[in-house]
Amino acid sequence: MSVVEYSLLVAIVIAALLAMQVYVKRAVSGRWKEAGDVFGFGRQTSKTILRTQPPTGGGELPGM
């Protein structure tokens, strides 16, 4: 085989891998989601922000 044929073969393989890139990313993210759902027992995460420190400004916290 000539150099042109080898370079054409390499170009076709690279083009195929680039075309499959989207499908591979979706498959990997789907596997991660599946693993996360199993680990979290299917629960959704909360989108609220949790405070780790009491609010500043003095005074006691409500309910104390």
Q: Residue 21 to residues 7, 17, 48: CA-CA distances in angstroms?
A: 21, 6, 34
At residue 41, the pLDDT reads 67
Query: Which pLDDT score is estimated for 39?
Result: 75
Q: What is the pLDDT of residue 13?
A: 96
Q: Which portions of the chain are predicted below pLDDT 70?
A: 40-64
pLDDT value, residue 2: 93
Q: What is the largest CA-CA distance in the chain?
A: 83
Q: pTM score, two decimals?
A: 0.44
pLDDT, residue 21, reads: 93
Q: Whole-angstrom Cα distance, residue 33 to residue 15?
A: 28
Pinpoint the alpha helices (H) of the chain. 3-39
